[in-house]
A and B are shown apart, each in its own frame.
Chain A
Amino acid sequence: MTNWSELMKGVLSAPYRTWIAQIVAIVRMESRRNLLTWRSLWVYALAFAPTSIILLHSVVGSGRHSIESDTDVMAGIFHYYYMRLGIFFGTLSIFTRLVRGEMVERSLHYWLLAPIRREVLLVGKYLAGMVRAIALFWTAITASFLLMYMHFGAAGQQFMFDGPGFEHWKAYLLITALACIAYGSIFLLLSMLLKNPMPAALLLMGYEAISSILPAPLQKLSVIAYLRHLMPVSVPTDGLFALLTVNTEPVAPWAAVTGVLLLTAVVVALSAYRMRSLEISYTPE
């Protein structure tokens, strides 16, 4: 009873205002240092590759497609490219840089010497990565979406504002945000546990690819299995696409969102625990 009341007292008297101010400072600093840098160029290319193809498509193929067929194309691009590759490798790059990258560049100790609890520092860095990843992919997906329908003129506008277009766009943004949040947390943890997180990331990619044929309890450990249920438009599952399509046990959208957030919370908590005992050892990596 005493322990419980002491714990509650500790929770209630924690300096939340200071922690929030510290997190804001970390996010601001990380964003300024990493948002526009040459080494991030390939992540931007990854995010905007479909956008440039859609731009070409809207210029060259204008008048030769229907809104329905382009809606399927957009869903395909989102499902096969963004969900499976773009966001996966984008977040891999962004989140592994936060701690491991600074370890490699021998600049992590500057953070560790600041009067900030390690857990708060970890959350601040994680949020900085999250803000960056979400901002990047939201921009790219919004641009892709607009370019996909803009060339239809009034019909495209009607689809977007009076038809289902707006709901589709919102669903894509939600899935993107959840994917960034979840994959980001996993890659952050992997980068703190392993000197080279790439093989583990590729294993995770393989796991995500076969999650649809795994037993239902194992599917619950897959990010993509949850996100798939939030897709506004179903994608074709025959032929070659069947290999890339996620078919999993049905999950209610609220359960999918809650599942991803819970998974993320657990992984971030593990990262914070790891951060607490992290030591500076700038050995050649």
Chain B
Amino acid sequence: MSDRIVLQDVSKFYGEVLGVNRVSLSLPPGITSLVGPNGSGKTTLMNLMTGLIRPTRGSVEVLGLTPLQADDFFRAVGYCTQFDSFPRGITGWEFVFDALALHGVGGRQAATRTAETLARVGLQDAAHRKVAGYSKGMRQKARLAQAIAHHPRVLVLDEPLNGLDPMARAEALALFQELGRQGMHVVISSHILEEVDRISDRIVLMTGGYVVAEGNIQQVRQEVQERPMQVLVRCAKPEVLAARVFEMNHCVEAQLHADGGGVFLRTRNLDQFYAVLNRIASEGLVQIEAVAPADDDASAIYQYLVGPDGETV
């Protein structure tokens, strides 16, 4: 049996809307973080991994199993979704206990495991209260408890740190690290890289439904640096600026803004680009009003990875 999560050329379309496109990944055990802005396809990818949705094209296998092999697949997989909803009228205890019952864990063993799991996430005192009365952080913990109660080998966590206070956040990260050290697959999504980079063995950067970079933190940093980045420069004579920067061999594309008050420039070397731009500004050839990253794709991550002045993190 394979010990990997394998996605092969996976695409998912919701009608004409792209969820993810041509994603191929092979994830070994350890902690993998899916990072990207909202709408980048992280949740879609996780739903595909756990069989909640089917790929339009391609195949998904987790430890050599597909979701159609439900008995074995879902014993191996635990999924803490982002959906902040629960069956009506349920208590935290019932929520975890019922999940174990569906896994075929009965009576006393289920009760013991429920108590252990709720204690592990710090919900033991609120176990018999209705989930509807929980705070957002407590509901997050309840979902986490339900996902780990059956001791899965693959744990998929969609934005698991949302709603947690700093203390609970640190505890959750410590728990994920512990599970990763035990040889489990822990797949975590986040739109904030700083949240997960310290504990991640691998990072998968996503944007617009595509995987734009994948690997350990150094590899990702390298890939992002090599990727042409788009910058919008607001200025009085955009065509002059475009002609000037196009003389640089790392500038691969220039496009005038529709209102004629700026130019989109795509460069392979952001550091050099900014240096040249400063020179042009100081020469007084073009009066520059504003400069901003125009890439929707992971500009925040880029800034974090290479730093605002180009220094590495």
Chain A positions near chain B (C-beta within 8 angstroms): 15, 18, 21-22, 25-26, 28-29, 33, 37, 39, 102, 105-107, 109-118, 277, 279-282
What residues of A have a CB within 8 angstroms of the CB of B52 in the complex? 109, 112-113, 279-280
Candidates A15, A37, A115, A282; contact of B83 at CB < 8 Å: A282
Q: What CA separation (Å) do A114 and B51 show in the bound complex? A: 11
Contact B104 A29 (CB under 8 A): no
Q: Whose C-beta in chain B lies nearest to the C-beta of A104? A: B85
What residues of B have a CB within 8 angstroms of the CB of A37 in the complex? 88-89
Q: What CA separation (Å) do A105 and B89 show in the bound complex? A: 12
Contact A21 B83 (CB under 8 A): no
Q: What CA separation (Å) do A114 and B54 show in the bound complex? A: 17
Known contacts A113-B77, A115-B104, A116-B74, then 18 further A-B pairs from the complex at CB < 8 Å, ordered by chain A residue: A18-B71, A22-B104, A29-B101, A29-B102, A37-B88, A102-B87, A105-B85, A107-B86, A109-B52, A109-B83, A110-B87, A111-B102, A112-B51, A113-B50, A113-B74, A114-B74, A114-B99, A281-B14
CB distance from B131 to the nearest CB of A (A): 11
Q: Whose C-beta in chain A lies nearest to the C-beta of B53? A: A279
Q: What CA separation (Å) do A137 and B132 show in the bound complex? A: 31
What residues of A have a CB within 8 angstroms of the CB of B99 in the complex? 110, 114
Which size class do B's interface residues fall under?
Answer: 20 to 34
7 contacts between A and B (CB under 8 A): A106-B85, A111-B102, A112-B51, A115-B72, A116-B70, A280-B52, A282-B83
Contact A116 B102 (CB under 8 A): yes
CB distance from A244 to the nearest CB of B (A): 36
Contact B47 A280 (CB under 8 A): yes
CB distance from A54 to the nearest CB of B (A): 32
Give me the 3 closest cross-chain CB pairs, A-B, nearest first: A106-B85, A114-B102, A115-B74
What residues of B have a CB within 8 angstroms of the CB of A281 in the complex? 14, 53
Candidates A28, A107, A117; contact of B71 at CB < 8 Å: A117
B257 at the binding interface (Cβ < 8 Å): no
Q: What CA separation (Å) do A277 and B81 show in the bound complex? A: 20
CB distance from B236 to the nearest CB of A (A): 46
Candidates A25, A117, A280; contact of B70 at CB < 8 Å: A117
Contact B89 A33 (CB under 8 A): yes
B79 at the binding interface (Cβ < 8 Å): yes
What residues of A have a CB within 8 angstroms of the CB of B81 in the complex? 109
CB distance from A48 to the nearest CB of B (A): 22
Find the residue from A18, A110, A280 having the highest chain B CB count within 10 A. A110
Q: What CA separation (Å) do A115 and B74 show in the bound complex? A: 5
CB distance from A225 to the nearest CB of B (A): 37
